[in-house]
Amino acid sequence: MNYNTGRTVSPLERPRLLAIILSVLVLSFVARIALPAFAGQTNSAVVVKMTDVPAAFVPAKVAIKVGGEVDWENTGHNMHSVTANPPLPPGAESFDSGFMAPGATWTHKFTVPGTYHYLCIPHANSGMAGEVVVKK
Ligand SMILES: [Cu+2]
């Protein structure tokens, strides 16, 4: 007689179990990365890429919370800049990255709420401009 009543995982079920465990791990990983993006445009830190063709800030408009930072990354092969284009919100400090070489990153922290317009000096004539909305 067979008294083995304890449930064992059959060799056929094992890959399925592994697949379930793996998908749970993958999903929790994806959720952790994707959820801040779904939480809205107001993040404590956002990344803006600077591209050559077209000469642009991508995305051109971002929103952050006061005290948050924006990281600009020059992903192109040309020089770009992040230069405040006044008028600025009252009490806000001006900012200028200077010329950023390809691959360079520049960060600015925004401590005064309001709307900031900025441009890229080498490509201002091509309309390379952006906007940062800093919310309370
Ligand atoms: Cu530029």
The answer to whether the CB of 81 falls within 8 A of the CB of 123 is: no
Cα 8 to ligand 1 centroid, rounded to whole Å: 63
Cα 57 to ligand 1 centroid, rounded to whole Å: 8
**2 in any annotated domain:** no
Cα 58 to ligand 1 centroid, rounded to whole Å: 11
Cα 23 to ligand 1 centroid, rounded to whole Å: 42
Total number of domains constituting the chain: 1
> What is the span of the domain harbouring residue 122?
41-135
Residue-level pLDDT at 43: 60
Residue-level pLDDT at 50: 98
**30 in any annotated domain:** no
Q: What is the CATH number of the domain that holds 125?
A: 2.60.40.420
Q: Per-residue confidence of the chain (136 residues) as pLDDT tens digits?
A: 555 555 565 666 666 655 644 465 444 544 444 444 443 455 667 999 999 999 999 999 999 999 999 999 999 999 999 999 999 999 999 999 999 999 999 999 999 999 999 999 999 999 999 999 999 9
Cα 50 to ligand 1 centroid, rounded to whole Å: 7
Cα 117 to ligand 1 centroid, rounded to whole Å: 15
Q: Position of tokens 């063709």?
A: 53
Cα 136 to ligand 1 centroid, rounded to whole Å: 29
